[in-house]
Structure 1
Amino acid sequence: KELEAVPEFEYVVVNDDLEQAYGDIEAIVRAEWARAERTKELAPHVQRMITELDEIIRHGP
């Protein structure tokens, strides 16, 4: 069912390799942050998400 919904999403991350998936998600977050940089209230939330992803990749969930 997830594959059937792919056209509804802006991004798709394949979770076969944790480090690759992390890199893909980080790239998406950074791209969205750059696009939404005009909206200053989003910056702290995006930075927190990046920090949390870094912690997960370094230490596990």
Structure 2
Amino acid sequence: MYFLNFDYFKFILDLRVLFIFLNCFNPILTAYNVFSDFMAVLMSKIAILMIFIIILPMG
């Protein structure tokens, strides 16, 4: 149900909060946290690119 009402940036924020919360208890997750930050940046760039590709030709 969460993904049907999908707010991308809220999802990224939720992930960041979750990883910060988990890192308080388990420092081993730090490497995965860095990787997830990289993926989040990559996905947001792709999302912005898709918005430009889809919306600009229509306008």
Q: TM-score, normalised by structure 2?
A: 0.55
Aligned pairs, how many? 46
Gaps of 5+ in 1: 4-11
Any gaps of 5 or more consecutive residues in structure 2?
A: 51-59
Residue 35 (structure 1) aligned with residue 29 (structure 2): no
What root-mean-square deviation, in Å, do the aligned CA atoms of Structure 1 and Structure 2 show? 2.2
> 4+ residue runs of structure 1 moved beyond 2 angstroms?
12-15
With structure 1 as the length reference, what TM-score do the two structures score? Answer: 0.54
Higher relative contact order structure (alpha carbons within 8 Å, sequence separation ≥ 6): 1
Q: Between Structure 1 and Structure 2, which shows a larger proportion of helix residues?
A: 2
| Alignment partner, residue 49 of structure 1 | 36
Does the C-alpha gap of structure 1 residues 24 and 57 become closer, same or farther in structure 2, counting only changes over 3 Å? same
Structure 1 vs Structure 2: percent identity of aligned residues? 4
